[in-house]
Structures are given as structure tokens and as C-alpha cells.
Amino acid sequence: MKDKTLVGGIVVMVVGAVLIGVVWVFFLQPAQTPTTPLTSIPIAVEDDGRNLIIFEIVSAESEVTFTLSETLRGLPTTVIGSSRQVAGQIAVDFANPANSQIGPILINARTLLTDNEFRNNAIQNFILGTEQYEFITFTPNKISGLPDEFVPDETISIQIEGDLKIREIMRPVTFVGTIAPNGRTQLTGSATTQIMRENFDLQIPNAPGVANVSENVTLTIDFVAREKENSTN
């Protein structure tokens, strides 16, 4: 009888240790910090690029956000996470806007934060695995809606098709948004898309009080880009 009691006690201790370890890894382990300052991947311009002006996204004035819904402790909750760690280049041909291009857009996933520390740790340590996969990348391959000519301060509606990579999974997505040239030295814009969590295998860990996490996630990039020094003209 004593042996059974002893074995039972050991089993309880082991299970308890495992649960504590799981809670630590998913919810209590501190979020990762960026390894290096975020920099843009230089855009590979087509043709000779003589008519292109290169614009660089200004991280301090730009923001990427994700939005989803969940039930938290019985209450419907809208979850918003954001980061200013977004980088990329845009090549604009003011003489022939259709020749304009957008380079890869980088987001440092380690800096995506919500208003809940436990949620942040779960997102980074379990859902996005940011210790191994620090960056989310969107690689555009087609822009639709560009006009025949740019008019300063006129907002243009565009669609940007490309490949979104989260961890090791890449899927085609389309961002819908606007862009406006402020003269020839600055661009402002915003673009939004919706993804399905299952398409990127974004699993939600079981957590007390959390339920009904939406399958749809909205991604938005609001940006300011300025002419890069020594830009190709």
C-alpha cells in the first residue's frame, strides 16, 4: 500500500513538473529580443532602373498590426498586436508609374506585442516560434491599380499580390490599400489583408480562460517611406 502511495506521489510530482514546464515555455518564458537592428533588403530593380527613385520605409513612423478575436474569461475580446519594426524599399517611376516596384517587406516578429504579457509570450514562444524564426516576410510580385501618372498628394487605390512567409510556411496573399506620393520625396500608404490561421499552421495553445480564437487574422501595414540617399534616378 505504501509502495502504491509512493508511486502515485511520484507520478503526481512528474505530471506537475511537466505542467509547470509547459506553462513556463508557453506563457512565462520572456519574449525574445531582436538580434540586430532591422534593415531593408535592397530592392532588385528591373531593366536599368534609370528612371526609378528608391524610397525606404521609415520604421519609426510606420506600423504593422494584426487583429483577431477571442473570448477571454467569458468576455468577447478584440486582440490587437503591433510593431514598428517593419522595413522595405519601394522603387517609383514617376514618368511611367506602371514600372514601379515594391521590394520584400520585413517584420521582426519578436517585436509584435499586444496588451497582455502572457499572450505575448505565447505568441512568440509557441505560435510564431520567434527564437528560431525572427522575421515575417512579404515578397510582392505584382501591383495593380497604378495610374498613368502620379498626382502629388492624390491617394491611389492599389492591390499588391505576393508571398507571405511565416516560419517556414509561404502562402500567396493579396494586400488591398492606398498609396499617396507627397511630392517626389515621400510616400504614405496603408495596406490590409486577411489570412487563415490554418494556412500557416498557427496553432493556439490551451490556456485557462481563453476560447474561441478566430480563424481569420487581419494584417495591416501603415507606412511612411522617404527617398533613399543616393537613390537611383
pLDDT digits (tens, 9 = 90+) for 195-232: 999 999 999 888 788 899 999 999 999 999 999 876 65
Q: Smallest Cα–Cα separation from 66: which of 142, 158, 156, 173?
A: 173
Q: How many domains does the chain have?
A: 1
Quote the CA–CA distance of 129 and 29 in Å, as a whole number: 12
pLDDT of 8 higher than 50 = no
- Cell numbers for 18, please give them: 511537466
43-97 per-position pLDDT tens digit: 988 666 678 999 999 999 999 999 999 998 899 999 999 999 999 999 999 999 9
Q: Which CATH number does the domain housing residue 37 bear?
A: 2.40.128.110
> What's the rounded Cα separation, in Å, for the pair 113 and 174?
24
10 inside domain: no
CA-only gyration radius of the chain, Å = 22
Cβ atoms of 89 and 53 within 8 Å: the answer is: no
Residue 115 included in any domain: yes
Helices (H), the chain: 2-23, 117-122
* Domain of residue 82, residue span: 31-227
Instruction: Provide the pLDDT for residue 29.
Output: 55
List, for residues 13-33, the tens digit of each pLDDT value. 433 333 333 343 444 455 568
pLDDT of residue 6: 47
In a domain, 91, yes or no: yes
